[in-house]
Chain A
């Protein structure tokens, strides 16, 4: 009897995996598992200090740390990512309110430049993260992904996926307004 149960072990293992996958899918479909609302281990913590070669100035580096004097946003993007195109208008509006530092994630510099020429450049500075190491430090889940950082370098908010008109009006603009009011 014990012998026959061991033969069902693979099925049990598969069933557990299948149930997990099913829950994940159902939650995604019902809208309960929102890929954009991401609790990040970084929230309330200092930014991971990041230094990357600049996309626009071959000799300069873009440094992200807690030494700024105003809140800013960090946005991971790539030319190969279609949703990044979709959020270009929202970023253009946000750029008027707050400094945005762009990080070109796993992208070739010339492709990034072409992308910015086509869809507009909302960024104050842009770092090149060709190998995706900065993405690992930040725990980036996919592109586009956006972080809001306080003036003293604390991560306040994380948003995965494109910023659409809805997020822009309901989340981003009010949040930035309240930051400025402080």
Chain B
């Protein structure tokens, strides 16, 4: 019933609707005809529903394994577990593009429902129509997911056990929620630029979508990094690959936007800069979506990409970035007002925050695009890796963290909040004590000590701010707890950064590693702990057989802590072997064991790691995302929206 042709038809229907969504309301705005402007909402609803039906029919084709659809034949298999049949629908270029469009439709629908009818809403929906049109055209003309295959094969070709992973399946939707959420902020920014009225109300509407997108993007990046950590078995969590950089750049720009939009909401300052950040963040998320699909940047992931698609993408970028930037150049001078704040003020703190985030975005952008530029001008081909980013990105982030501790202690216009001084004394004292202790007691490198000191500095400033503001030792704390949700969200998100830094620093500075080749019965030291290897046994899983190493972990007093069972799995049907690392995750750190090659005569290779606090990296990222969501909560507001048109 939900045949691929229905899906295809609905995509075309959505395309036509998007064209109407651009033309009719635009005519309405030009002629001041409300009958035409209000069509924007209805058309957005129709196009969203058409897109949903289209995606449903693709899901259906994957669920029933309709191998007459080329995409299903290439990426699915009748024997796949159902959950991976479903997630497989977006585990490829065409399907993931459709998922992108679905999320765009979802946000458009949410926007229609959530916001009150106003000129800003109509113009935003016109811009949304433009974005939807570009993506639908790209999908239909270069990457149609519904292409039929004749004759249909008996079974599909997509049964790779490595790709059947829940982390990998959930990573793209999360990331896309972030990317597409930024398209809302972009559309509202363009609408504000056209109207020429960028004020508190504009910022209030924009902030909701920015924070939502930012939280999803944070979670999406964390999910991808976590997957790389436990599945790839290299023990690392960030590799500065172009694909990873492509998701980091919009995150950095969105973080800048998240902060500058607050300045607009509270003080109507930094107005044109905020518009520019909204355009930048969305542009970079377009780059993030397209970088591996264009054939422009040849990362290791994309050797077989299609340059013809690249031309299409370039035109999308010209329209979605060039036009808005042109409009920005024309109109930016006419919005906003002169600055009226002192050097020592919340405004300055947030401007510094934005500059540092923009500089770090540029550092990542240069590292990612430099190979392309160099190749064009000199013909040399190079790869930029971790050494560049460690040397260029980390110090800038260090400066950022230095100021991140002070910023929240400043007040708008001028001065420090009352609890700032004790909080700053506490964090400066803690950081200094940390430096001295580490210099005396340990052999940690200078950069390592700097990192720990900065983390202490930031962490103690947040704790100090909370303690001295809430003053639990004085009566009446209940009243002081009634802070705005944004304050709690900010504390949680900033403290998530502390947790993240703690995990990143501890796992790299204090990691212990032992790679050995041992016989049954061997005792292997790993830091203060020891492991005993009790040999390898064969086990049987649902559709695989294993070689499972039996390891017992003892603490320094010889007490048994736990068993570790790293495996090699052999899938007879696919004639494929996979490695399953044994990871014992605790808050204090992960024990990580991988079974290598070997047999009972010559012994087995074992790779053993202890990574202190490594899970804090992802825990911190989750805290940041939750902080964002908490900041979205608003006490019911009875005030009338000033932008509501009288009907």
Contact = CB atoms under 8 A, between A and B. Distances in A.
A24 B380 contact: no
B576 interface: yes
Contacts of A136: 383, 385
B318 A8 contact: no
A114 interface: yes
Interface residues of B, number: 57
Contacts of A24: 296, 372, 375-376
Given A25-B307, A29-B307, A58 B379 contact: no
B337 to A, nearest CB: 14
B381 A25 contact: no
Interface string A53-94: 000001100000000000000000000011100000000000
Contacts of A4: 329, 333
Contact of A141 (B322, B333, B373, B381): B381
Interface string A6-43: 01101100110110111111011100000100111100
B20 interface: no
A10 B333 contact: no
A139 interface: yes
Interface stretch (A44-52, A103-111, A170-178): A103-111
B308 A29 contact: yes
A106 B300 contact: yes
A142 interface: yes
Given A18-B322, A142-B298, A111 B162 contact: yes
Interface residues of A, number: 50
B643 interface: no
A179 interface: no
A39 B381 CA distance: 8
Nearest to B294: A25
B380 A39 contact: yes
Contacts of B375: 24
A110 B577 CA distance: 6
A143 B329 contact: no
Interface in B299-321: 299-300, 302-304, 307-308, 310-311, 314, 317-318, 321
Nearest to A108: B579
B325 A161 contact: no
A135 B383 contact: yes
Interface in B351-410: 369, 372-373, 375-376, 379-383, 385
B525 interface: no
B523 interface: no
A28 B578 CA distance: 37
B321 A28 contact: no
A59 to B, nearest CB: 7
A21 B272 contact: no
A151 B318 CA distance: 51
Contacts of A27: 376
14 contacts: A7-B333, A10-B280, A11-B325, A14-B283, A14-B321, A15-B322, A20-B376, A24-B375, A25-B307, A58-B596, A108-B579, A109-B597, A136-B383, A161-B303
Nearest to B298: A142
A116 interface: no
Contacts of A58: 517, 596-598, 602, 605
Given A83-B304, A142-B298, A21 B314 contact: yes
